[in-house]
Amino acid sequence: MRFVPLDTPKPISKIGLGTWQFGSKEWGYGPDYEHRAADIVRRALDLGVTLFDTAEIYGFGRSERILGEALGEDRAKVVVASKVFPVLPIAPVVQQRAVASAARLGVTSIDLYQVHQPNPVVADTTTMRGMRALQDVGLVGEVGVSNYNLRRWRFAEAALGRRVLSNQVRYSMIDRGPEEDLIPYAEQAGRIVIAYSPLAQGFLSGRYDAKNPPSGAVRRANPYFLPENLERGAQLIEALRGVADAHDATPSQIALAYLLRQPNVVAIPGASSVEQMERNAAAAEIDLTDDEYAALAAAARQFRPVTGLAALPKLIRARTGK
């Protein structure tokens, strides 16, 4: 396993484990998945993964409970990251929610506590007052944000008066926005960009095509899985396969290696099986050549999916079958 080159209380592995899938019906993994989830966590620990990401909103607390239980006594050795869902993120609410999350996780301190998304009305000044108090009493180690633009990330730091260690954002080969400013800032300031949906929810695995789309509500609502976009993505998947063959790897592993090339980026793929977890952890060891990286970037740029408003009628048709 490789780690972020930063001075943090505990080392942060370049591949972490995302656990939105745990206890969340919307992924459609069925009742057996809960046992598999515990096996996935245990295997991740064996493989040197030290970052485990959850949130109070995932399965309405179930993800935190499953993760905490599966980590058991190893909780203290790793970086347990959770998130407050900012419905009314004023200081006392943030504090009370952190206590509830810590109890579900079975920890006395949440190593990384993140604001799940920026609140359009409540300013970070009040949210960060709550975070600072949590740090002062030791219930929270590092503070993070999620889905913040650069301006608001820096504002949150000013409000906290300390580093906001990480910003968790959507970052994959087909969502490269963070390369513009968040990643350069992280490198320059000694911060971390945590890449969520790093496999574009499995789109980049090459496992799905127009005739075989994934099931489950999460991905039925994701425009990348519209038949048209799966067709448009075929060339990108071919490019991933080509590089994967040269490394005796899979397209998913190459898609992760592409992100991990940036020193201050970590990726937190979710996994539906232990085998996927193993492959994802192994991706941290893959070094792409400059030529491979450039070819992948070019293939990614050529992928032009139908998204936004233009995708809405197609998504509705796909859901209703009309």
Is the Cβ of residue 7 or residue 113 nearer to ligand NAP in the bound state? 113
**Footprint of ligand NAP on residues 150-189 (CB under 6 A)?**
168
- 224 in helix, strand or coil? helix
Of the ranges 7-15, 156-164, 184-192, 194-202, which one interacts with ligand NAP (CB under 6 A)?
194-202
Q: Give, in order, the Cα–Cα distances in Å from 62 to each of 23, 69, 92, 154, 232.
A: 5, 11, 23, 32, 36
- 82 in helix, strand or coil? strand
Is the Cβ of residue 61 or residue 270 nearer to ligand NAP in the bound state? 270
Of the ranges 16-24, 38-46, 67-75, 118-126, which one interacts with ligand NAP (CB under 6 A)?
16-24
Task: Indicate if 58 belongs to the active site.
Answer: yes
Q: First CA to last CA across the chain, in angstroms?
A: 47
Q: How far is the C-alpha of 159 from the C-alpha of 173, rounded, in Å?
A: 32
When binding is defined by CB under 6 A, the residue of 21, 127, 167, 264 that contacts ligand NAP is 21
Total chain residues near ligand NAP (CB under 6 A): 29
Is there binding between residue 201 and ligand NAP (CB under 6 A)? yes
Backbone angles phi, psi at 215, to 5 degrees: -100, 180
Q: Which of 33, 58, 113, 224 is catalytic?
A: 58
CB of 322 to ligand NAP, least distance (A): 26
**Footprint of ligand NAP on residues 60-99 (CB under 6 A)?**
none
Q: Please, are residues 274 and 36 in contact by the beta-carbon 8 Å criterion?
A: yes
Please choose, from the candidates 179, 160, 176, 173, the residue with its C-alpha nearest in 3D space to the C-alpha of residue 264.
179
When binding is defined by CB under 6 A, the residue of 20, 33, 148, 258 that contacts ligand NAP is 20
Of the ranges 32-40, 181-189, 276-284, 296-304, which one interacts with ligand NAP (CB under 6 A)?
276-284
| One-character DSSP codes across 105-172 | HT-SSEEEEEESS--SSS-HHHHHHHHHHHHHTTSEEEEEEES--HHHHHHHHHHHTS-EEEEEEE-B
Binding residues vs ligand NAP (CB under 6 A): 18-21, 53, 116, 146-147, 168, 196-202, 205, 207, 214, 250, 252, 268-272, 276, 279-280
Residues involved in catalysis? 58
